[in-house]
Structure 1
């Protein structure tokens, strides 16, 4: 049997062409197995190219002359380069005032939507980092917490209103959960009523001999157990 010919580039579907174009190489696309080191290296290259392209729009923003904290000349500043926040490296408090926060945590903590990060102007800048749980997962987006808090105040106008909204959402979730639980209980009770009228076959035919009646306060149900086969009859009293 003659070897199959590779399909020419002209016959490649448009979707596949676009897919190839957005990969570092076709072999590195999803579904192919490559070494972890090579995979990580290519992911890092893609991340750098993507970040460089995204940050081009901020190159033309003029940096202030001085750091807003120490008022000394703003020479080296990670926070300005990555977030347009005019604090020099000497004043940067990465574990305190200038802490970074993941987008998932920021959305949950400050009740923000994706559009609040990306569409509301000015869009919040972020840096990409490998996911600490699994490097093959999507990259984490880290935002400057100070800027996230400022965006939350812009939307909710005060911390009191933010806390009120958080309480309202918590109450709504709890109410929905309670309704779901009550519905499930009602369905279970209907099933129990139906089963209570079904005769259970055992190896030796017999009539059930039930013991004393017991009452369950939590479910508001009564039950009796057959002394011969252990069949449990559960029912309600109207």
Structure 2
């Protein structure tokens, strides 16, 4: 650098940053950092580089660029265009939309070595897996049993099989993790919430206390449901019998004739409470059931 030359603002800031970095590096050399602190420093450095890159690649059509934008603006049939200088015109609205600031999306870094989970099946340390990422369950992909131990269950089946309520799944701490999937039977039925069966079983034990109490409650509800079905079936059969027997009665004769029935005779073949009687004048025979 020549003596007496003046530095621009950007050059002065860069020089100051380099001096500060050198002084900080000399101080940090005397301090031993842990792996977690080194990881944090590395992430902050990457963020700073991304931010610097985004500022450097600012859109050339931004209103903050040097020079007056009025000189490059052309109005054609009521629409304003910007002369890009590259042989084509750009509509002013499109240029404003393209000039929006760049949004930086921070990518989640890999799991650091001190914090890597250990698989509960094989006791090996792994970086990431489907069960750990979706349900925070420490099992690697190699030990995952899709069909039995690590199978998934829908929200409706979890509530019916383990007698859980919505508050048990969503409000009780900690809330259970789930993933969203399209319904395989019909795509128009919406998405399903899938839970890990092991976590559902553990939550059911927390609610009911033990497997024996859960089994007793399931048996009670099944017995109550079966009794209700039998009662409904008997009621329908009885109504059908009454409808069939009443259809045998000839209503056209009731206006001019009154039956005079003889003694009642039981019909054990058709039921204990089934009887028959016969009219002594017209011979009409009636089968009925005593209530």
Same fold (TM over 0.5): yes
Classify 1:198/1:214 alpha carbon distance in 2 versus 1 (closer, same or farther; 3 Å): same
Normalising by structure 1, we get a TM-score of: 0.56
Aligned to 1:107: 159
Aligned to 2:182: 130
Q: C-alpha offsets along residues 49-70 of structure 1, whole Å, 9 cap, x if unaligned?
A: xxxxxxxxxxxxx965322222
- Determine whether 1:146 maps to 2:212: no
Aligned to 2:173: 121
Classify 1:182/1:65 alpha carbon distance in 2 versus 1 (closer, same or farther; 3 Å): closer
Partner residue of 2:251 out of 180, 200, 209: 200
Q: C-alpha offsets along residues 150-206 of structure 1, whole Å, 9 cap, x if unaligned?
A: 01111112111111010111122233334444555666677678x48953339xx99
- Cα contact 1:216–1:222 (8 A) shared by 2: no
Q: C-alpha offsets along residues 121-161 of structure 1, whole Å, 9 cap, x if unaligned?
A: 11111111111111000212111110011011111121111
- Cα contact 1:215–1:223 (8 A) shared by 2: no
Q: C-alpha offsets along residues 70-115 of structure 1, whole Å, 9 cap, x if unaligned?
A: 2222212110110010111111111221111122222221111222
Alignment size in residue pairs: 167
- Cα contact 2:116–2:127 (8 A) shared by 1: no
Classify 1:153/1:64 alpha carbon distance in 2 versus 1 (closer, same or farther; 3 Å): farther
- Cα contact 1:192–1:235 (8 A) shared by 2: no
Alpha-carbon distance in structure 2 between the residues aligned to 1:147 and 1:168: 25
Higher Rg: 2
Partner residue of 1:98 out of 117, 125, 150: 150
Aligned to 1:235: 288
Question: SS at the partner of 1:76?
Answer: coil
Structure 2, unaligned runs of 5 or more? 1-113, 260-264, 279-283
Alpha-carbon distance in structure 2 between the residues aligned to 1:86 and 1:127: 16
Alpha-carbon distance in structure 1 between the residues aligned to 2:190 and 2:243: 45
Classify 1:218/1:100 alpha carbon distance in 2 versus 1 (closer, same or farther; 3 Å): farther
Coordinate RMSD, CA, aligned: 4.0
Classify 1:197/1:79 alpha carbon distance in 2 versus 1 (closer, same or farther; 3 Å): closer
Question: SS at the partner of 1:90?
Answer: helix
